[in-house]
Amino acid sequence: MIDRKLLKEIALSESEYLDICELLNREPSSLELGLFGALWSEHCGYKHTKLLLKKLPNKSSKVLSEMGKENAGVLDVGNGIKIVMKVESHNHPSAIEPKEGAATGVGGIVRDIFAMGAYPIAILNSLRFGPQNIPRNKYLLNGVVEGISTYGNCLGIPDVGGEIEFEECYTTNPLVNAMCVGIIENKSPILNAKADKAGDLAILVGSDTGRDGIHGASGLASQSLEEGSDSRSAVQVGNPFLEKVLLESCLISAKMEGIIGMQDLGAAGLTSSVIEVAEKSNLGIELNLDKVHLKENAMTPYEIMLSESQERMLIIVDPVKEERFLKFFKDRDLKANTIGEFIKPKIVKIKYKGNEILNTPVKILTDAPAYELSDKKPRWIDNVQRYIPVKNKISDMNKILESLLKSPNISSKKEVYSQFDHQVQLNTIILPGEADAAVLRLKKDNQAISISIDCDSKKCYLDPEVGASMAVAEACRNIVCTGARPIGLTDGLNMGNPEKMDVQYQITRTIEGLRKACLKFEIPIISGNVSLYNESNEKPIFPTPIIGAIGHIDDYSKVVTASFKSSGDKIIVIGEKLIKDDENLLSGSEYQKIFENKLSGSPYVDLNKEFNLQNSLIEIIDNELINSAHDVSTGGISIAIAESCILGNIGSDILLDGINKKSIYFGENRSAIIVSCNPKKSAEIIKIAKKHNINSKEIGVVTGNKLIINGDICIKVERLKSIFYNQSD
């Protein structure tokens, strides 16, 4: 009998149910069905994306673990140091209960990192909300920021950077993506989520298992949010203090004799954690649910297996050392129990109150179906890609620039990042807001890493493929602007309902855009996350492939920030000789959104040029030729220059040739970087750019206390500051 209501609750389709019956050669028990619901969910099983994700480049000479094989990706940065990183979303929980949703999002990604034996050294956030004049959206923003602040600050991991965008499409469905970076030092090994052999034991450490978060992976993360539905009980509640104790203890245990592997309990709790370890280890597992420490006594096996209670870890140990581990955790006031043993036959056996209540082959449980997606371009995308110039009466460039600077997508995010501890651990040598990316020293030699997270969703809406390539280009360009060489990416794909044809096209093209850019930039995607079913008012969100990028710096004394430094410095635009002024530059721009009220046109990126541009800047910074670098992105050239003025508290005088003024000043689709330098260095900079086939041009000078561009823009820096930092009305 097919129970449709139950299937809907666990987000399995009828045809999937029939597949399960065929694979098992019988109907599943209700407990089995719960496990299938979780393991075959979009969240755990990647049903709609796994075929496509295989196309992404995931190897390089520095990559030590492949995407999808472990909890997070690992890069070798030399000198015995390995860097671990991953981004993860917690969108639907945050939409329902913003504070706890965002808090447990941070908790989950941090556990992914220390499960690999890495000490977490940085958190970044990428957030999306609807317009703040809608009270619900404001509530969501405040709750999410408070959740990240409450949880992250308590852990002693600096929150060093991030980005926020506000668009209509994220109303009631915010995006909350958290990225964590960890470090493995002194040639210590990477810890895998694996058992070695039959007989190895699984110890569950940390929080009691409760009724919180049941159906988080299947019910919440794998279908669209329903209006008025009350799924708050599917959102977990975090305890950051317990996470901190767990983090420190697990990392000590990771160096103890007898440790074999470690795995966090995240989406789908024990089910995905234990069964995925068994699958990777080519073993089976026998679980004894009577050994699981519970928050309440009357929990059913179904609830125990699917609970998403936070702050739990699975430690896999050699049976000979079992007692040592149990005592170690007890001494640190953590509950720990041996809940299972790995066995030779590849079967999941579950015991409860002395009886065997489940006996199912691992392979059947983990072999979620994979669906092919349509790649047919919807007509509406063809329509929006036609650029429709809109005449507007505003010709005062000062007014336009001020409006853009005030836009929440451009103005300072200080109000948010000052609520996050960004300095603990004493590595943050470039603080949030000072440059295009955060820079952390590694306290060894002069090595540092630069980290950025980025995506321009308006471009992705107009052209998912180009937008995705741009996200890669921009995330890399950000870290290049500090002087770092990009070495690895992590991707958080946030998309709409994959059962809709136009969303299928968006997903397919997004992954193609990522693939092309990664191949061009010779950079691997080492880890990632997919979040589907993000919809607002039954319309899909803009495709939002969030890209986290990490770069390596040999000598951090050469690091550059975005602020203009001293009067008399020349300002050069690297990337263009004749400043481009075609109207298409405004496609998907902040200008178009604010002043034309409609997005249209074809965003554009030349990946060849972008790659050369970035290589030229790396060489220029390595030769210590410039005093500031800031890339041209949201708001265009004029905003980039205004920001460098604001940060440096100094003016500049700029000349830009061209006819179509709005495109010149506010056009965004260009690969260009604004640098400032001592006048004596200018020729050398232009020469190096030329060597990389990149044009560049002197456009002005750092001077005075006003931003002056041609005869069109003249605003005091004091005024720019008060608008940017939201101190004026």
Question: Which residue, 168 or 434, has its beta carbon nearer to another protein?
Answer: 434
58, 91, 125, 153: residue in contact with another protein (rule CB under 8 A) = 153
CB of 31 to another protein, least distance (A): 35
CA–CA separation, 207 vs 213, rounded Å?
13
Q: Tell the smallest beta-carbon distance from residue 426 to another protein (Å).
A: 5
Q: Alpha-carbon distance 591 to 627, whole Å?
A: 29
Q: In terms of CB distance, is 149 or 612 closer to another protein?
A: 149
- Determine which one of 90, 92, 215, 422 is catalytic: 90
Taking the complex as a whole, the smallest distance from the CB of residue 161 to another protein amounts, in Å, to 13
Task: Copy the structure tokens of residue 370.
Answer: 């994979």
Q: Is 139 in the site for another protein (CB under 8 A)?
A: no
Q: Among residues 542 and 556, whose Cβ is nearest to another protein? A: 556
CA distances 330 to 162, 334, 375, Å, are 37, 5, 54
Restricted to residues 406-445, the positions that interact with another protein (CB under 8 A) are: 417-426, 428-429, 431, 441, 443
Is the alpha carbon torsion for 489, 561, 544, 380 positive or negative?
A: negative
Do 273 and 35 meet the contact criterion of CB atoms below 8 Å apart?
no
Query: Looking at beta carbons only, is 439 or 511 nearer to another protein?
Result: 439
State the minimum distance, in angstroms, from the CB of residue 44 to another protein.
30
**724 near another protein, judged by CB under 8 A:** no
Distance CA 564, CA 705 (A): 12
# residues contacting another protein (CB under 8 A): 30
Whichever of 426 and 501 has its CB closer to another protein, that residue is 426
Binding of residue 556 to another protein (CB under 8 A): yes
Contact between 190 and 83 under an 8 Å Cβ cutoff? The reply is: no
What minimum distance in Å lies between the beta carbon of 245 and another protein? 5
Among 257, 333, 382, 729, binds another protein (CB under 8 A): 333
CA distance 169 to 166: 9
Strands across the sheet with 706-709, in order? Answer: 628-631, 673-677, 570-574, 696-702, 652-654, 706-709, 713-716
Query: Given the complex with another protein, which of 440 and 656 has the nearer CB atom?
Result: 440
Q: Is the CB of 383 or the CB of 418 nearer to another protein?
A: 418
100 lies in the binding site for another protein (CB under 8 A):
no
In whole angstroms, the minimum distance from the beta carbon of 186 to another protein comes to 15
Give every CB contact of residue 135 below 8 A, 6+ residues apart in sequence. none
Q: Which two tokens stand for residue 624?
A: 């210590």
Among 138, 244, 321, 539, binds another protein (CB under 8 A): 244
Q: In this structure, are residues 317 and 260 in contact, taking their beta carbons and an 8 Å threshold?
A: yes
Nearer to another protein, 281 or 425 (CB): 425
Asked if residue 151 binds another protein (CB under 8 A), the reply is: no
43 catalytically annotated? yes
Nearer to another protein, 416 or 654 (CB): 416
Query: Is the separation of the CB atoms in 670 and 582 below 8 Å?
Result: no
Q: Which of 31, 67, 118, 155 binds another protein (CB under 8 A)?
A: 155
Active site residue 293: no
Closer residue to another protein in complex, CB, 383/557: 557
Give the three-class secondary structure for 602: coil
Helix H or strand E segment including 654: strand 652-654
Asked if 245 interacts with another protein (CB under 8 A), we say: yes
Q: Tell me the window of 242-250, 260-268, 522-530, 635-643 that interacts with another protein (CB under 8 A).
A: 242-250
**Beta carbons of 727 and 717 less than 8 angstroms apart:** no
First to last CA, the chain: 63
Residue 310 in the binding site for another protein (CB under 8 A): no
Stretch that binds another protein, among 153-161, 250-258, 369-377, 583-591 (CB under 8 A): 153-161
Separation of alpha carbons 477 and 574, rounded Å: 12
Relative to beta strand 438-441, strand 570-574 is unpaired
DSSP string, 544-597: EEEEEEEEEES-GGG---SS--STT-EEEEES-SSPP--GGGGTT-HHIIIIIS
Please, which residue, 150 or 337, has the CB nearer to another protein?
A: 150
Residue 251 binds to another protein (criterion: CB under 8 A): no
CA distance 233 to 483: 46
252 binds another protein (CB under 8 A): no
Per the CB < 8 A criterion, the answer to whether 143 and 413 are in contact is no
Least Å distance, CB 143 to another protein, is 13
Return the residue of 127, 242, 267, 586 that touches another protein, per CB under 8 A: 242
- Selected range binding another protein among 235-243, 579-587, 634-642, 701-709, rule: CB under 8 A: 235-243
Report in angstroms how near the CB of residue 5 gets to another protein at its nearest: 40
Sole binder of another protein in the list 154, 265, 550, 673 (CB under 8 A): 154
Residue 57 CA to chain centroid, in angstroms?
Answer: 18
> In DSSP terms, which residues pair with 708 in a beta bridge?
653, 714
Annotate 430-451 with three-state secondary structure: ECCCCCCCEEEECCCCCCEEEE
Instruction: Find the shortest distance in angstroms from Cβ 154 to another protein.
Output: 5
Q: Check binding of 134 to another protein (CB under 8 A).
A: no
Choosing from 43, 92, 552, 630, the catalytic residue is 43
In the complex, minimum distance from the CB of residue 216 to another protein, in angstroms, rounded to a whole number = 23
Q: How far is the CB of 423 from another protein (least distance, A)?
A: 5
Distance separating alpha carbons of residues 453 and 124, to the nearest angstrom: 7
Q: Which residues bind another protein (CB under 8 A)?
A: 149-150, 153-156, 239-242, 244-245, 332-333, 417-426, 428-429, 431, 441, 443, 556
Positions annotated as catalytic residues are: 43, 90
